[in-house]
Structure 1
Amino acid sequence: MTVALRGLSTVVPPTVLVQPEVRDVFAAQPGLNRLAQRIITTSFDVSAIETRHTVIAELSRDAHPDDPVFFDIDSGVLLQPGTKARNELYAQQATGLYVAAGRAAIDATPGIDTADVTHIVTVSCTGFYAPGPDFMIARELGLDAGVERYHLGFMGCYASIPALRLAKQLCEADASAVVLVVSVELCTLHLRSSNDPDTIVASSLFSDGAGAAIVTAHPPEPGERALVLDRFATRITPTGEGDMAWKIGDHGFEMVLSNAVPALIDEHITGALEPLFAHDPALVDALETDAAGRAVEHWAIHPGGRSILDKVETRLVLSEAQLVPARDTLRDYGNMSSATVLFVLRHILDGDAGAGERVAAMAFGPGLTVESALMTVSG
């Protein structure tokens, strides 16, 4: 049975953050020591990010709310709302993005409409509410009352790949299944001023966005651009459990993102690809001879940061062109956690990828966990 990812769509909130301007705001916060100020300047300047998006309208140049919660533009001070206030804004803002991305994916899939959707899989690690986003999508899009709903929560940046794997498994169990997968991450809700290096790095990278797609065994229409989902693999590295983590604090969710992460990925990425390539002798040989970049034409690497992409490019001997989708996504949108790899895949589909060419997708998250997928372009 052939199961394909179709109608891949992305959505971002309207408020745009310009990286140098955000750097200057963070650098001007009271209470920072000299080391923190130096780390802020370096982290923002070497991030390879130009713009990001946020649901926090107060961060807009034109916003002057009477009672600011996150940012007082008149004083230039970043405020410190509690986790409750941050999560309440998540509940307010996330639903619209879930619904918009889900609707866009359905509209972009020829021959599929809302009445055909049998399952929903939602993904997020940046907020919680119940009834949750899966329920809100079903209600707002008018899906069947019996639609099956699943939510993958708090897994981190790699979670969209397990969501696609689950969607494929649902389709393999039921050939008539039409699975709507939607990832929404509002990472900027948890950014704050701090002297802690991990918090500073997170503030220089993370952003908000949504991605969605239809996964189904219903064949694509002639000429439709889609991705056949061939295989998936997961790998937990033997070290690194404490180097990437996501915890709930009193003033939002707290990211641990140590400077050891790029080196850990560099050390273990080849081993993480071995189970993905194991069923294809040509791919195994390519991996063993540093020719993976020639065996697989396109690489959808989660751009967790510029240094991570640099390590992946060097270790797998990829060409600069093969990293363009990931680097462009990082430049224009920042790191949107689990939604980001969907943006990279969209970039590949919107580019010059030809029918029959292979795509390897990889994303990294807490654990340290590496999730990967092998796909084939159709259409």
Structure 2
Amino acid sequence: MALVAIKASSLNQEDFHNLWFHLQHNLLTLIILSVVLTLGSIVYFVTQPRPVYLVDYSCHLPPPSQKVTVQKIIDSVNKNREADPSMSSLAAESSLDFFVKVLERSGLGDETCAPEALFNVPPLQTMAVAREETENVIFDAIDNLLANTKVNPRDIGIIIVNSSTFNPTPSLSAMVVNRYKLRSNIKSFNLGGMGCSAGVIAIDLAKDLLQVHKNTYALVVSTENISRNMYIGDNRSMLVSNCLFRVGGAAILLSNKSGDRRRSKYKLLHTVRTHTGADDKSFRCVQQEDDEKGKTGVSLTKDITSVAARTITKNIATLGPLVLPVSEKLLFFRTYMRKKFFDDKIKHYVPNYKRAIDHFCIHPGGRALIDELEKNLGLSPMDVEPSRSTLHRFGNTSSSSIWYELAYTEAKCRMKKGNKVWQIALGSGFKCNSAVWVALSNVKSSVKSPWEHCVAKYPVKLDL
């Protein structure tokens, strides 16, 4: 402006008016552009989703008294068979051999845990026993989480509890509200019947709620009850679940507070949910029902393998564009076009997810499932080590399994700042759900990690 004033002093009146007009015009244009850019920036930042931080999480470690060996399970089955005449068919050599074979090839070790009440003769499967088991698991995980984070329970604005087959009244979420005296305006949710993938569903629901409710915490609790759901019968399709499921649970604290970024372990990047329940085979491949003698169990059909493969493929196809680098997307697109228009015998290109993901937490639904995903995704033995080790040490703890796997990676000191971790879980319905996190620092194990006393023994080599 000073230069303009000096220059204007040497101009005549007409030139001065022309210069002043252009200056006013340009200044008005500049103001309009500034206002537009400012408003655009405000709209952009306001409409951006709030970051969701994983402050910390805790997994339940059952007491040593609950550990079960393969032989202990077999002995218990034999004792109950002898005490219950209706189970006499289990004495048939073929049925017992089937049970033992599945148990020995399941990939579970001799330190997994089950409720002590199930080893009574006959097993105790009352509502009181089931409630006691769930309370012990949930309260232990939450107590440790609150102790590690120093969060006041009154600051928690959202509580989500998921348990697939045990849903008493009052609900499990109400049980948590009562125990920790959470505030009266808390947003409380109880998810039931959603299978082993419900843990990611709960995270996805918490993410959506944290976009609406400002400056608060969300407590997510994932568990499953064994006491009420252990099958005591001789139907082979229902016996398989007895060989895999064990006691476990996890509590996760999420936050949308910007001030929690520095102390949080991870930031949530993506959640992808896939549901193929519209198909009858998918819907019925995992189903809780009564056998021919009226005994309740979870039946697994022969279609589960093909259903799981199809559902996983759809989930990965949705997740791929969100996480894969451009080079992998181009390779996939080129192969797709060649197959579609030139040679349909060309195999589909399987993207290299290791170029986008550093750690994998594959739901330990069984040794065969881990083997299949290792092969199809081109993973190395180290990539699936957390899944195999979790299956061996803790068994399939349903929706909480992926948190034991993440804890394993941390216990091995492998989680570095900027690393991305992919949690993928399968569940009845049939569903496949994924969550992708990024580490905000070099993550260390939390106090009372479930692996702190045994991680040195892993990985183990199994001769199966």
TM-score strictly above 0.5:
yes
Displacement of 1:341 in angstroms is 1.8
Alpha-carbon separation, structure 1, partners of 2:353 and 2:287: 30
Alpha-carbon separation, structure 1, partners of 2:234 and 2:136: 34
Displacement of 1:222 in angstroms is 7.6
Alpha-carbon separation, structure 1, partners of 2:199 and 2:305: 21
> Retained in 1: the 8 A contact 2:311–2:431?
no
Alignment correspondent of 1:104: 144
Alignment correspondent of 2:164: 125
Alpha-carbon separation, structure 1, partners of 2:295 and 2:176: 25
Alpha-carbon separation, structure 1, partners of 2:324 and 2:356: 11
Alignment correspondent of 2:363: 302
Matched, 1:18 2:69: yes
1:93 maps to amino acid: E
Structure 1 pair 256/43, CA: closer, same or farther in 2 (3 Å)?
same
> Retained in 2: the 8 A contact 1:178–1:214?
yes
Alignment correspondent of 2:429: 367
Q: Deviations over 1:247-299 (max 9, x none)?
A: 47897642112344234333442322121233345276387444113421111
Alignment correspondent of 2:320: 277
Gaps of 5+ in 2: 1-49, 83-87, 333-348, 442-464
Alignment correspondent of 1:54: 114
Alpha-carbon separation, structure 1, partners of 2:402 and 2:387: 8
Alignment correspondent of 2:134: 94
> Retained in 1: the 8 A contact 2:130–2:226?
no
2:138 maps to amino acid: Y
Matched, 1:348 2:409: yes
Matched, 1:197 2:236: yes
Structure 1's consecutive aligned runs of 4 or more residues displaced over 4 angstroms after TM superposition are 219-225, 248-253
Structure 1 pair 166/86, CA: closer, same or farther in 2 (3 Å)?
same
Alpha-carbon separation, structure 2, partners of 1:152 and 1:119: 14
> Retained in 1: the 8 A contact 2:267–2:438?
yes
Structure 1 pair 357/156, CA: closer, same or farther in 2 (3 Å)?
same
Alpha-carbon separation, structure 2, partners of 1:314 and 1:226: 30
> Retained in 1: the 8 A contact 2:113–2:394?
yes
Alpha-carbon separation, structure 2, partners of 1:293 and 1:248: 43
Q: Which has the higher helix share?
A: 2
Alpha-carbon separation, structure 1, partners of 2:60 and 2:247: 9
Displacement of 1:225 in angstroms is 5.7
Displacement of 1:211 in angstroms is 0.4
Aligned residue for 1:187, secondary structure, equals coil
Alpha-carbon separation, structure 2, partners of 1:49 and 1:252: 25
- The equivalent position to 1:41 in structure 2, one of 91, 97, 100, is 100
> Retained in 1: the 8 A contact 2:366–2:391?
yes
Displacement of 1:331 in angstroms is 0.5
Aligned residue for 1:159, secondary structure, equals helix
In our comparison, the structure showing a higher alpha carbon Rg is: 2
Matched, 1:242 2:293: no
Q: Which has the higher strand share?
A: 1
> Retained in 2: the 8 A contact 1:226–1:377?
yes
TM-score after normalising by structure 2 = 0.71
- The equivalent position to 1:323 in structure 2, one of 371, 374, 384, is 384
1:18 maps to amino acid: T
| Aligned residue pair count | 358
> Retained in 1: the 8 A contact 2:420–2:438?
yes
Aligned residue for 1:205, secondary structure, equals coil
Matched, 1:265 2:313: no
> Retained in 2: the 8 A contact 1:27–1:37?
no
1:264 maps to amino acid: V
Alpha-carbon separation, structure 2, partners of 1:251 and 1:100: 34
Matched, 1:216 2:255: yes
Displacement of 1:167 in angstroms is 0.7
Displacement of 1:220 in angstroms is 6.9
Aligned residue for 1:372, secondary structure, equals strand
Displacement of 1:332 in angstroms is 0.8
Q: Deviations over 1:86-123 (max 9, x none)?
A: 3332223312322222222222225x322211111011
- Say which is worse superposed, 144-153 or 290-299, in terms of deviation: 290-299
TM-score after normalising by structure 1 = 0.86
- CA RMSD after TM alignment: 2.5
Aligned residue for 1:102, secondary structure, equals helix
Q: Which has the higher contact order (CA 8 A, sep 6+)?
A: 1
Structure 1 pair 34/298, CA: closer, same or farther in 2 (3 Å)?
same
- Say which is worse superposed, 132-141 or 86-95, in terms of deviation: 86-95
> Retained in 2: the 8 A contact 1:276–1:373?
no
Alignment correspondent of 1:376: 438
Structure 1 pair 162/180, CA: closer, same or farther in 2 (3 Å)?
same
Alpha-carbon separation, structure 2, partners of 1:222 and 1:157: 29
Aligned residue for 1:190, secondary structure, equals coil
Gaps of 5+ in 1: 60-70, 73-78
Listed as ranges, the matches of 1:107-256 within 5 Å are: 107-109=147-149, 112-219=151-258, 224=263, 226-237=265-276, 238=279, 239-247=281-289, 253-256=296-299
